Chain A
Amino acid sequence: MVEIMEGNHALGWGALDAGCDAYCSYPVTPQNEVVEWFAREFPPRGKIFLQSTSEIESSFLCMGFVAGGARTMTSTASPGWGLYPEGMSHIVAAELPLVVALLMRGGPGQGTTRHSQMDYTSATSPGGQGGYRNIVLAPYSCQECYDFVQLAFYLSEKYRNPVILLAEPNVTRVLEQMERRPLTFEYPPDKKWALKGKARHSDGKSRLLTSGYGLTSTEEHPSYLSYLKHLHDKFEQMRASEVRYEQYEIEDARVVLVAYGYTARVSREVIKQARAEGIKAGLIRPLTLWPFPGEPIRKKAEEGAKFLVVEDNLGEIGGLSDDVRLAVAGRAEISLVTALDRHNPGEGGSIYPGKVLEKLKGISQ
């Protein structure tokens, strides 16, 4: 059945259909609609909703929920995201699953209350101690919010690692059509590692969870080095198996746009207009920002294409542009459309098709 709803709510319906048991969050604009959805829909269904007292608390309350075996989700926006890294680092270290929805607003600091794409780097090269990774999914429509949150739960339990859903409020606040058809995944059979009291484990043995494997030796990880090797292998496995991306009009493209989220929607519009004018443009849209789809980009670079990275970020400093540069490895020209190209100087400024088309024309001479 097709309904009309906003992406913020689609995140909730997706979580529910994925079997999410617990949600904990601290209100911050522009993710308050997500919090409100869970506050309204979870308790009547016997699921846990907890409003925490800060984002640091959210991350650690979630650590408790997942430690107990609950399928757990949290959500936040940029200013609150800055308080998550400590918790995320401990959750990764303890090999616990968690889904984190991050809605990006202008930054740094208090920034703006409106959209941006400025948390690309802190999501893909996480800010907490230890140099770990998490899978980052980037939906660009209401339907994708619904689908990707379900995928996120599955991937986070498959790898026992948090998964981040990175979105912008101008995607999640817009009303769109959505078909609520739950996706099925083969989740790992049970959570043998969860804490419940040793009598409730099938083997009657006690379980220990820790985020300090350099301080504590366990049967599973007898030494710090064996644990680090395990983490390393896990991240390599993610890199090898979990890359997802979409290509649009890429076959004969001489200029390749690279974008995610709302700027990918803008880019599709631009490509239509460009093609109408005879410019062979195409789009590579990463669905996983990490692991990054370097392969298709490298392929087009080797064919001699040029690249236009479209991101509502300070692209000259870093972000998506860095990953494109790594993938291209010097073989092709890369141009940028950045937040400095927004259509107006206020917090509501956005990247519009006109500006992107202008730059596209400029580089396709």
Chain B
Amino acid sequence: MEQKILARGFEAIGWGALAADCQLFAGCPTSPEDEIFTYLAQEFPKNGRHFVRASSEVSAINIAYGSTSAGGRVMVVVASAGWGLIQETMSHLVNAFLPVVVVLIQRGGPGAGSLRHAQMDYLPITRDAGQGNYRVISLAPSSVQETYDLMQLAFHLADKWRNPVIVATDTIIIRMMEPLTLKTIKLGPPLPEKDWIVKGKEHQTDGIRRFISSGQGFIPTRDFSTYLHFLKGLNEKVLRMRETEARYESYELEDAEIVLVAYGYSARVCQEALMMARAEGIKAGLMRPVTLWPFPGDVLKKKALKGAKFLTVEDGLEGLREDVMLAVEGQAEIEWVNVLDRNESGAGGAIYPGKVLEKMRKLLKGKVKVIKKGR
């Protein structure tokens, strides 16, 4: 049954988790994640779910590690300050093939940074931030409705691939208030039963003990007998995720000569800038990645071969631009709007449509230094 309400992004995170049958939340209040924390502290127990207040982010992610081993769907919410603390256990979750949904609310960095919005964590979100070589799917909502929808998708994908999934959002998206249609999404294909969970030997249908290890490398397990065997399995999984799970939204991309690439709140800014540009006769379009990883690069490559120019818009120092460069493989000019283009110097400064339009005009007129060098 559908229900239409007015909700804020952080509430959509909670509603989405409940719709996806999330059983446990673990977290600790760090701005700007504290609103979610307080909200879930009320809603989860009301709905018979576990709410665990952890003493720190490292504690929260380890509580999640334990809970997911017991089989229920679990989530952790962290802010950028505190994101660094979860990486070791994320790496362990990947090795142990365990599903967890991690919601990251981006705020200014590095370090304690600022309390306000930012998009500065693109690289650690989309690459292996912890030890070892791996990838996790990351989803980036840019509206309240999408937050609710992607939360459900996140739990599904985490279970499907037995891997953590990140939902990467920012302070603006979680605080905006928009209409939200509450509807449980049917996601296919149907997921296999979790026959790997630990619950006590006598509770296993086949009576055989289950053993979860994040040391698949020097510990042979049921699934992988040697390290090489494990590496092949992990490699294959990542390549398959990359091939099949990329998602994006396109806006007026068909005839676009300038392609904006943006996610989260800057994608909303770009939608505005797009309208302004078209009104001026500039053939602009927007590719908004819904998955930051796998990055939907193919569509950009196609546009590049047709002669399009690119403008990446991100409220961070660097990150998204690198993936656009990798996708385009030297075939196009790329300019970028980044955190240094904010409208004001305080922590609340943001990227505004006017700035995006200004750079689009420059790019069109070829008044831009082409990015030739690598990293």
A binds B: yes
> Which residues does A use to contact B, with CB under 8 Å?
55-56, 78-94, 106-113, 116, 118-122, 124-132, 210-215, 223-226, 228-229, 231-232, 235, 239, 290-292, 294-295, 297-298, 313-314, 316-319, 322-323, 325-331, 339-340, 342, 344-347, 349
Q: A111-B131, A131-B319 are in contact. Are A85 and B121 (CB under 8 A)?
A: no
Q: Which residue in chain A gives the minimum CB-CB distance to B92? A: A109
**Contact flag A121-B111 (CB < 8 Å), given A108-B133, A131-B317, A340-B231:** no
Say whether B124 faces chain A, with CB atoms less than 8 Å apart.
yes
- Select B124's contact among A80, A90, A125, A214, beta carbons within 8 Å: A125
- The answer on a CB contact under 8 Å between B374 and A298 is yes
Task: Check: B34 CB closer than 8 A to any chain A CB.
Answer: no
Q: Which chain A residue shows the least CB distance to B229? A: A345
Dominant SS at the B interface? loop
Residues from chain A with Cβ under 8 Å of B326 in the complex? 322, 325-326
Given A85-B129, A127-B130, 14 more A-B residue pairs with CB atoms under 8 Å apart are: A79-B88, A92-B110, A106-B218, A108-B95, A108-B131, A109-B215, A122-B87, A131-B124, A211-B113, A214-B108, A214-B112, A231-B110, A317-B238, A330-B329
Please name the residue on chain A nearest to B225 by beta carbon: A345
Report yes or no: B91 in contact with A82, Cβ–Cβ below 8 A: yes
Taking a contact as CB atoms under 8 Å apart, the answer to whether B84 and A122 are in contact is no
B175 an interface residue at 8 Å Cβ cutoff? Answer: no
Residue of A81, A91, A124, A231 with highest tally of chain B CB at under 10 A: A81
Query: With contacts A82-B87, A129-B124 known, is A224 near B114, CB below 8 A?
Result: yes
Knowing A111-B131, A349-B228, the reply to whether A211 touches B92 (Cβ < 8 A) is no
The CA of A92 and the CA of B112, in the complex, are separated in Å by 11
Q: How far is the CB of B258 from chain A (nearest CB, A)?
A: 20
B46 CB within 8 Å of chain A = no
In the assembled complex, the CB of B81 is this many whole angstroms from the nearest CB of chain A, namely 6
For B126, the closest partner residue in chain A by CB is A125
B8 within 8 A of A: no
B208-240 CB contacts (< 8 Å) to partner A? 213-219, 226-229, 231-232, 234-235, 238-239
Closest Cβ neighbor of A89 among chain B residues: B110
Shortest C-beta distance, B211 to chain A (Å), equals: 13
Q: Considering only CB atoms, which chain A residue lies closest to B115 in the complex?
A: A215
For window 85-104 of B, CB contacts with A under 8 Å fall at 85, 87-96
List residues of chain A with CB within 8 A of the CB of B317: 130-132, 228, 231-232, 235
- The answer to whether B330 has its CB under 8 Å from any CB of chain A is yes
- Segment touching A, from B10-18, B269-277, B337-345, B356-364: B337-345
| Complex interface: chain A residues within 8 A of B113 (CB) | 93, 129-130, 211-215
Q: Which partner residue on chain A sits nearest B130 by CB separation? A: A82
- B49 to chain A: which residues have CB within 8 Å? none
Q: A108-B95, A317-B238 are in contact. Are A85 and B84 (CB under 8 A)?
A: yes
